[in-house]
Amino acid sequence: MSEENSQMQQMKPYIIVAGVLFILLIVLVFWPSSDDADEGVNTSLSGTVEMPATGTEVPPAIEPVLSEAPAEETEVFAPPQMPTEVVIGEESEAVEALEPVIEEAEEVALDVSDAAVKMAVVQAIRSPKISEFLTSDALLQKFVINVNNLANEEITLRDNLLTPPEQDFSVYRQADKIWIDRSSFVRYTPYIDALETVDTDELLKAYESYKPTLVEKFAEISRPGESLDATIIRAIDELLDTPLVPVPIEVISETVMYKFADPKLEALSGPQKQLVRMGPDNMRRFKDVLRDIKAELEAKQ
């Protein structure tokens, strides 16, 4: 396996759909991974309709009248009159038709399927590209895993929320040194373009909708007493604390892995090193989105 192909495997993109962010999904914070009708609610409405009583007496048929002179017997009937009143006690009240009594529809359970969650994120992030970038399985579970790992300055190669860039990680050699090629930065630009279209309000609404489920999943992997909201903010702060590194960025090759030549950069946390690999321009734009989301989160606490 070549160094570049191995590096590509280590530098896949990551996304943190953090929304109360993420609204989830919430904040939808994405970053590179390791090295490289409303909808018709089918609830039937049941109701009861009380029909008014029509207890009026129908006038009896009139008895035939016989004259003294012989004549044919003729029966005369008076047509019954339509009832207009019902006698209640001593007073008469007009009968009014009762409005149908319709029971309130039961609250429909929130759809937490991957398809519904993905749709919520796509609606909050207006770019049509985000649908292509997002994976389609275990989104809520992956979200809390990524938030927890990021807040603890860790990364994982599993549980990616975004598909990797199509282009490979690339370097070039000059003056007997190895530098990250600018094309490696550009491959993350479409992700940043999509993220910048985020409607923060919609993202936070999505987060609040899915928050009960997210809190349950977060409790399964976090330390006792940890708050999901606080952990999301810690995760954002971890990325915001990443230093801005000018280009070109020198790397060194050890076996099949690349490392930063600058010891200070190599000493950064895993998530911060991944953000550096996105390049300074993408990092600036990404941090602007993170600051907006963080401000919205803190305002709602």
Distance CA 35, CA 8 (A): 7
Q: Given this model, what pLDDT does residue 166 score?
A: 87
Comparison of pLDDT for 290 and 22, the residue scoring more: 290
> Sheet containing 250-254: which strands, arranged edge to edge?
171-174, 177-180, 250-254, 257-260
Cα 147 to the chain's mean position, in Å? Answer: 16
Pull the structure tokens for residue 212: 């009960």
Comparison of pLDDT for 63 and 283, the residue scoring more: 283
**17 has pLDDT over 70:** no
pTM metric for this prediction: 0.63
Q: Tens digits of per-residue pLDDT, 266-286?
A: 999 999 999 999 999 999 999
Share of the chain above pLDDT 90, in %: 39
Q: Helix (H, G, I), strand (E, B), or coil: what is residue 299?
A: helix
Q: Tens digits of per-residue pLDDT, 141-173?
A: 999 999 999 999 988 778 888 888 889 899 999
Mean pLDDT (the chain) is 73
- By DSSP bridging, strand 91-94 and strand 85-88 are antiparallel
Q: Given this model, what pLDDT does residue 80 score?
A: 52
CB 183 within 8 A of CB 165: no
Pull the structure tokens for residue 248: 């070109």
**88 forms bridges with which residues in the sheet?**
91
